[in-house]
């Protein structure tokens, strides 16, 4: 995330940028997720391993065709706890840096579409939402309802966000 983000906010990449289910602060992330990552960093990767074992159960309960859910479950089973802890810890440290990522994104001038679920995947604070919505080059799209695996549970809406970005830039 860090390298792609820095490319966009440096104004070297002119877009379009589509961000799906993003979190701009640690508070936007699930408390459980943050707890698992931080605990795994302290006591070893077993908390993350437990979470990774639960992910296929969540995927089976997700909305969507059975064949796709089966593929998703198999993909999720490929995650390794130690690697997941390293990546997620780096990510949480990055978004905890005290930067105003919404303001940076708004000031980038890049055409940006932010797609997130009303509840679940990619929460935004009221201040982040206001900053992003005030930016002339940012489009915020809220997908109604509770969605935890945005591209998998809401593929039509996700595709519409991407298509909209491409239409406006082409």
pLDDT in tens, 8-28: 777 777 778 888 888 888 888
User: Domain map of the chain by residue range?
Assistant: 1-25+100-170, 26-97
Stretches where the chain sits below pLDDT 70 are 1-2, 121-122, 148, 150, 169-170
Structure tokens at 106: 């708004």
Q: In the block, which residue shows the tokens 């905890």?
A: 96
Helix axes 31-43, 81-95, angle to 10 degrees: 120
pLDDT computed for residue 121 by the predictor: 62
pLDDT in tens, 57-83: 887 777 778 888 888 888 888 999 999
pLDDT computed for residue 1 by the predictor: 56
Q: What average pLDDT does the chain have? A: 85
Fold of 1-25+100-170: Rossmann fold (3.40.50)
């Amino acid at each position: 995330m860090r390298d792609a983000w820095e490319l966009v906010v440096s104004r070297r990449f002119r877009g379009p940028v589509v961000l799906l289910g993003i979190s701009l602060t640690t508070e936007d992330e699930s408390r459980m997720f943050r707890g698992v990552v931080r605990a795994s960093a302290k006591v070893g990767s077993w908390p993350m391993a437990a979470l990774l074992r639960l992910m296929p159960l969540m995927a089976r309960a997700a909305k969507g065709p059975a064949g796709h859910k089966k593929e998703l479950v198999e993909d999720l089973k490929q995650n390794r706890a130690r690697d997941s802890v390293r990546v997620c810890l780096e990510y949480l440290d990055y978004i905890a840096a005290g930067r105003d990522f919404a303001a940076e994104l708004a000031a980038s001038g890049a055409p940006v579409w932010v797609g997130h679920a009303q509840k679940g995947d990619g929460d935004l604070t009221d201040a982040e939402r206001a900053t992003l919505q005030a930016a002339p080059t940012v489009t915020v799209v809220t997908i109604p309802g509770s969605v935890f695996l945005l591209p998998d549970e809401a593929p039509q809406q996700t595709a519409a966000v991407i298509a909209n970005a491409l239409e406006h830039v082409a």
